Structure 1
Amino acid sequence: MEDTMLIQLTDKKAAKLLRDLEDLKIIKVIKENIAPKQKLSDKYRGSISKEEGEKLNKHIEDSRNEWDRNI
């Protein structure tokens, strides 16, 4: 059986328990200290000004309307 799980430890005691399980050959720790993936919306929030964002949204809307007219 080779199921893989990603878990988040909420207590330091859990790390010791996992190490004990690994010593008993019940589990295998593959990676440690993996940071959860950051959502792109959080990562890039604030990277452009509100005005630039509004211009970009207007451009996207205009492009979609032009595309729809040409179909």
Structure 2
Amino acid sequence: MNLQYVSDEQGRHTAVIIPIEEWNEMKAKHQDLQSWEKPKVKPSDFFGTLSKEDGEKMQKYVTQSRNEWERAI
């Protein structure tokens, strides 16, 4: 296995990088490893979590904040 180690300033190992091909082989052999990966979430999964009114308020606030930021430059 061709692992790469990530070290901090003191030389202590802080992470390991596993080549993707080897990771995929490990996942195929050990189903429990699949739970470590983040689920793929799409923006459409969140449709309806905010009311239309709340969404419009948030959009108005963001627009106002951007305009104030651009004026300050």
TM-score using structure 1 length: 0.50
Which runs of 5 or more structure 1 residues have no equivalent in the other structure? Answer: 6-26
Root-mean-square deviation (Å): 2.8
Which of structure 1's runs of 4+ aligned residues deviate more than 6 A? none
Q: Structure 1 or 2: larger strand share?
A: 2
Equivalent residue number for residue 68 of structure 2 = 66
Instruction: Please tell me whether Structure 1 or Structure 2 has the larger radius of gyration of its CA atoms.
Output: 1
- Quick one: distance in 1 between partners of 2:47 and 2:55? 11
Which runs of 5 or more structure 2 residues have no equivalent in the other structure? Answer: 3-21
Q: Could you say what secondary structure the match of 1:32 adopts?
A: helix
Q: Which has the higher contact order (CA 8 A, sep 6+)?
A: 2
Equivalent residue number for residue 4 of structure 1 = 23
TM-score using structure 2 length: 0.49
Aligned pairs, number: 50
